[in-house]
Amino acid sequence: MSLESRLNFEKVISSISSRFVGKVNLDEAIKSSFEDMGQLSKADRVSLFLFDENSKFFQNTHEWCAEGINPQQTILQKVDIGIISWWIAQVEKISFVNIRDVSTLPNGAQSVEKFMTIQNIQSFLAFPIYIGGSINGFVCFSKIREKVQWKGKDFVILRIFGQTLGDTIERLNAEKALRENQELLRATFEATADGIIAIDNNGVSTHLNERFIYMWRIPEKIVDQKDFNEVLDYMLNQLKNPDVFLLKLTNLEKTSKDAYDMIFFNDGRIFEQYSCPLVQDGEKVGRVWSFKDITEHQHAEQELRLSEKRYREAYERAELFKDIFTHDINNIFHNIRSSAELISLLKSNSDNLDNLEEFFQIIDNQIDRGVKLINNVQKLSKLEESEISLQKVDVYEVLDEAVQFTYKSAQEKELEIKIDKKITTASVKANEFLLDVYENILHNAIKYNQNQPITVQIDICRTSDGKNNYIKMDFKDNGIGILDENKESIFQKGYKKDKRVRGLGIGLSLVKKIIESYNGKIWVENRIDNDYSQGSNFVVEIPEAL
């Protein structure tokens, strides 16, 4: 090869290489390269054949023809790839196809010979185009006017062009796929309901979506700086517990762990937070944070739990009221009816007038019982359905009233109630229901007592749990006592100490409910240690009012 030929050859190779670098107009690069290659090799035609995506057909996509040579590109479209099966087999064996004389093709290559004869090709040289490791086409030199022996430079230039074009197509396909993926990622990044921010190891905010900016109310000037520390300062100012959030963030930056948490804002908002590391080639290069506003969801859950609680309590109240009315109202009506029937039988006999008065008294008492039952049910309902208003109440004043009422209602019994006031004044945070507490406890002390006299010792003092002061009241009776296994259950709704004794069915359940509404406590002990049969001591503690 002469020096001039070598220089021309190297110039063509250099031009081909430069055309397929960077941003490429593929059609223009192929056309320009084909013209240079055709003139350098003195080929009559330079052709590019590419397979379809299923490798069933091929077509002539680009063509250069020397002067006086008829083009074939428009004819050679969607050609069955089976026609060139011998040709492809040759390439798989020796990497190219070199035909000096088409008329001498061997048996088995008849379809290739026919394909070339139609194009008036006498000599032919082809190299494959590899894309993704598979043959996806060929670049070819053809001689129409004469038979030739292709030279070394022809082999080199076709091979280099084939490799360059294959690599370029593969690169362009990868770039297109990358652009499509990036666009999909960008659209997804912006369309998500979560606020997302990505931070690299240098504290630079590499990505953050519009949702993040909106959720955190980040000013545009801070966004433009891309300094995560500036963003973080703005975030911390909005949080209820900024120090906790900052500590968790600092600890996470030292690890490659995922993290989930909930964060609470000063304005009442609640975010669900998720974080995971960004890893490249096994090395952590940053971290991604996502935030979801779950304020409405959390409030809805709270409302649902509250509704469930209210429903459950309403159901329990309904069951309690049903049991109370079913049992006690039936008893009251039964007693009234029985008394009325006896009055009807005795009223005709004047000798029974004294007995009639007794039955009228029974009826009157039963009506009082019914009124008391209704009042108790109303009080219990009020305690469970509304907020309790508390004020300063004088314990001694209310207790004296309860004791006087107890004496009047138990005139037929021998009764002794003593009060030991260990402190001069005693006031608690309570309301009008405190009287019911004392009356119920005193009523039980008399009702469940078979001794004569019935004694109740009330001791009042001040106590403290280290945080709050309480007024403590001990109601010690000499009644039948309470078994240890029943000392808690007696305060449950519907419990009766003695099922043989008729009662209003609320009793200590109401007492416990009232005292708990005062943030107080009630429990029962033995009056005499280790001997329940010697009576009970009901202990009440209510916060002191200053």
- Tell me the per-residue pLDDT of 142-168, one tens digit each, with 9 for 90 and over: 999 999 999 999 999 999 999 999 999
- Between CA 290 and CA 297, with CA 294 as vertex, the angle to 5 degrees is 150
Dist CA 110 CA 83 (whole Å): 9
Dist CA 469 CA 386 (whole Å): 26
| CATH numbers and ranges of domains, the chain | 3-175 (3.30.450.40), 194-293 (3.30.450.20), 306-386 (1.10.287), 388-546 (3.30.565.10)
pLDDT confidence bin for 379, thresholds 50/70/90: low
pLDDT cut 90: percent of the chain above it: 49
Quick one: pLDDT at residue 142? 95
pLDDT (mean) for 421-444? 90
Mean pLDDT in the chain? 86
For the chain, give the number of residues.
Answer: 546
Would you say residue 415 has pLDDT above 80?
A: yes
Dist CA 226 CA 236 (whole Å): 17
Paired with 197 in beta bridges are: 208, 289
Q: Where are the beta strands (DSSP E) in 219-333?
A: 259-264, 270-280, 283-293
Would you say residue 179 has pLDDT above 90?
A: no
Would you say residue 505 has pLDDT above 70?
A: no
pLDDT (mean) for 354-366? 71
Quick one: pLDDT at residue 499? 43
Quick one: pLDDT at residue 114? 92
Quick one: pLDDT at residue 339? 73
Quick one: pLDDT at residue 459? 96
pLDDT confidence bin for 5, thresholds 50/70/90: confident
pLDDT in tens, 229-276: 999 999 999 999 999 999 988 888 878 888 899 999 999 999 999 999
Quick one: pLDDT at residue 160? 93
Would you say residue 503 has pLDDT above 50?
A: no
Q: Which residue has the higher pLDDT, 410 or 425?
A: 425
Q: Which residue has the tokens 């003195």?
A: 42
The full DSSP string for 179-232 is HHHHHHHHHHHHHSSSEEEEEETTSBEEEE-HHHHHHHT--HHHHHHTBHHHHH
